[in-house]
Amino acid sequence: MNTATLQVRIVRKAIEAADTAVLELAPLADQPLPRFDAGAHIDVQLPRGLVRQYSLCNDPRETHRYVIGVLRDPRSRGGSVAVHDELAEGQVIRIGAPRNHFALVPARRTLLLAGGIGITPLLCMAERLAQAGADFALHYCTRSAARTAFTARIQAARFAEHVHIHHDDGPAAQRLDLPVVLAAPNATTHVYVCGPGGFIDAVCNAARQQGWPEAQIHFERFAAPTADAAAHTASDRAFEVHLARSQRTLSVPAGQTVVQALRAHGVPIDVSCEQGVCGTCLTRVLEGEPDHRDSYLTDEEKRGNDQFTPCCSRALGERLVLDL
């Protein structure tokens, strides 16, 4: 876990839509919070030692507060339940400084596609694009009107005319038509997608089929694909990691991650999601070929084999030399 944290108070907690809680966090003292850019997230320290990442969804010009939205997910590893059931207004919690692995790229036109709670970072992007007078469209897909968070905010926003809301239970005519939305790939347009894994895959696959270059498709996942993780785990085997700075060699057994092996030998490393999603533990690889199992690095970055995420990725050979 990243040790650089700050204390904030939960000054507002509200149920924004079915199963979606919105928390407004403010500094304890009368001083500004660290600035952030659209697409940034924070680590939130929760009860029982849990640390989870949540996208900031308020106007990035604001320094007096951070706002996050959290969907209750019974399939989660406990973070969303802790937010909904154990955090309350007035409570003081610790968070990490904003980090951004999903930043906007300057473009003539921007397409934002959100699935469910994936709206959170894209709201922030819409705020920023509207401030800049940019050409963009935001497509927001939800199961139903009752499960559509931030409706009032969107309706009152300066960017309301750029937003198209699609409900799964609505008339067929208003549902998202990906081939139409993504029909005109060009070098001056970028696509951003966030939401459940299936939604992200559908958008990315449709974009690729329409001829969009990978460099113009940007996405952020909340969790690693479980099917891939299960398949990888079944084929795990032991290997060694050599730490170049300290000249130590450690064994990583089949049932242990590199991060767990490092911890067991007292080697500190920043880590947060432990699913290969956030990039906190990204480490330079000096020798050897990683078995990339993350959802953070691009395919091009993985082919470079000069960095990997030790929270979930492993080695294809017998040994990795790490810049640790």
**What are the tens digits of pLDDT across the range 21-62?**
999 999 998 889 999 999 999 999 999 888 888 999 999 999
User: One-letter amino acid identity for 129?
Assistant: L
| Tally of residues, the chain | 324
Stretch among 140-144, 170-174, 274-278 having the lowest mean pLDDT: 274-278
Average pLDDT for 95-106? 93
pLDDT of 223 reads: 65
205 to 86, 184, 226: CA distances (angstroms): 38, 15, 19
The CATH architecture one would assign to domain 226-322 is Roll (3.10)
Q: For residues 148 and 167, is the Cβ–Cβ distance under 8 A?
A: yes
Q: Is the pLDDT of residue 126 over 60?
A: yes
Which residue do the tokens 């079915």 mark? 18
pLDDT of 211 reads: 95
- The alpha-helical segments, DSSP class H, found in 113-196 are 119-131, 151-156, 178-181
Percent of the chain whose pLDDT exceeds 70: 94
Q: Is the pLDDT of residue 3 over 60?
A: no
Average pLDDT for 236-240? 93
Average pLDDT for 196-225? 89
pLDDT confidence of 299, banded at 50, 70, 90?
A: confident
Q: Is the pLDDT of residue 218 over 70?
A: yes
Q: Does domain 109-220 bear CATH number 3.30.1360.70?
A: no
The CATH architecture one would assign to domain 5-96 is Beta Barrel (2.40)
**Mean of the per-residue pLDDT values for the chain?**
91
Stretch among 6-20, 147-161, 180-194, 292-306 having the lowest mean pLDDT: 292-306
pLDDT confidence of 155, banded at 50, 70, 90?
A: very high
Q: What is the pLDDT of residues 245-256, one digit of tens each?
A: 999 999 999 989
- Take residue 132 and report the two structure tokens written for it: 């800049």
CA distance 172 to 177: 10
- Secondary structure element (H or E) that encloses residue 239, with its range: strand 239-243
Q: What is the Cα Rg of the chain in Å?
A: 20
pLDDT confidence of 2, banded at 50, 70, 90?
A: very low
Domain boundaries, given as residue ranges, for the chain = 5-96, 109-220, 226-322
For the entire predicted model, the pTM comes to 0.77
- Take residue 57 and report the two structure tokens written for it: 């969804």
Q: For residues 74 and 85, is the Cβ–Cβ distance under 8 A?
A: no
- Coil, strand, or helix at residue 275? coil
- CA-closest candidate to residue 279, choices 313, 322, 243: 313
pLDDT confidence of 234, banded at 50, 70, 90?
A: low
Angle at 146 between CA 145 and CA 152, to 5 degrees: 70
pLDDT of 1 reads: 42
Stretch among 37-46, 192-201, 203-212, 291-300 having the lowest mean pLDDT: 291-300
pLDDT confidence of 84, banded at 50, 70, 90?
A: very high
CA distance 320 to 324: 11
Q: Is the pLDDT of residue 98 over 90?
A: yes
pLDDT of 224 reads: 61
pLDDT of 219 reads: 92
